[in-house]
Amino acid sequence: PLRSRLAARPARLLCARRLSTSGLPSPLPPLPPSQPTAAAGAESALAPAAPGLLGLPSIYLELSKAKLSGLVVMTTGAGHLLAQLPLDPLLLGATLSGTFLCAASANTLNQVIEIPRDARMARTAKRPLPSGRISPAHALAFATTTGGAGVGTLLALTNPTTAALGAATIGLYAGVYTPLKPVTHYNTWVGAVVGAVPPLMGWTAAGGELLSPEAALLSGALFLWQIPHFLALAWMYRADYAAGGYEMLPRRDPTGERTAAVCLEYSCYLTALPFAVWASGLTGCMFAVESLAFNGVMLAAAARFVLAPPNARVQQAQYARRLFFASLGYLPLFFGCLLLHQQSNRHAATEDEEVAAPEAARARLREAGRQYCLHEQLEAPSLCPKGAADEVAAVAHEVAAGAAAGLAGSRQTQPPS
């Protein structure tokens, strides 16, 4: 009997299978398509939703890198103020807005190109494009619109030179700098060239000549400043840049010694720049004297980065962060002192009241600052840095004049060949 029951069991199982597939309802029917599983529900909840009209402005600001573009506009305004008195509000507004639109276009194109790489970096994975909050086509349309509006504004309301500089900024940033980032660490220097253009746009929009000492000062200051600023940032996020496949200097510098040395080198160049500007006659000597304060902070931060023990990751990251934040405060102080101590001959002979009023305000600021000078507090005129600087300048001019006279005399006495 036991054997017969065991032999009959496969037959009963086969009969049950036939009944379950013959159209009769099974004990556990499958879920219909309208009832997703818990896993599918979780995936749908994590999927990014299309941005609404109220969310688009914040996304556009992220695409534009609003803080970085604001810094660009600040340098453009400094270049404009250095060139023009009296100020034309319409011209200044057109220059700043056109520059911001060009910067927004360049930054957006950069992010469109770098979507796969940004998605692999923790610092950039939440940006609108890698996170899926906006489509690449939408972002490209935004970049095209802002770029066209920016260049068009500059062309219509400033001049062709400024518009050409704006278009060059977009082309160089998106077409040269961005493709170089995964190829060579020299992309930082190429990017610094692009970043040196906006102050020139402010200068030329106000009527300044593109090939002039002031233009060289503006672009040179921005170029030199960007190297320690961005290398410090690259060291702080070197692992992230490596994950994205970017060829930054810290990626090929495991000890950090080379990166820190380059930061210190360009900080030294920045320290020397105000003295060269004073020697050229573009500013008074107090620009060089006052620059010792903010350049000293920059130099100290860069030197501390250099002196950090090799391979001491925590300390190096800490000192790189200090250098980065020191560089953020550098540009406002640099351009503020530059504008305060500017000695331009562009408006020296005019009697226009609109020009005389800003010049008088600048003179009052200088006089107010002079009251806080050490020699005024100690009532010791011999300690005045301006007097000492004027004496040094007079001696230097005498030496230069004597050398020039001697060179001219030697040429006159030299027999013809």
Question: How high is the pLDDT of residue 36?
Answer: 43
pTM for this model (two decimals): 0.75
- pLDDT per residue as tens digits for the range 57-97: 999 999 999 888 888 899 999 999 888 667 788 999 999 99
Angle in degrees, CA 213, 218, 222, rounded to 5: 140
Higher model confidence: residue 379 or residue 46?
A: 379
What distance in Å separates the CA atoms of residue 150 and residue 97, rounded to the nearest whole number?
Answer: 7
Is residue 338 within 8 A of residue 316, CB to CB? The reply is: no
pLDDT mean over 202-217: 91
pLDDT mean over 346-350: 47
Q: Is the peptide bond before 57 cis (omega within 30 degrees of 0)?
A: no
Question: How high is the pLDDT of residue 282?
Answer: 86
Angle in degrees, CA 222, 195, 226, rounded to 5: 50
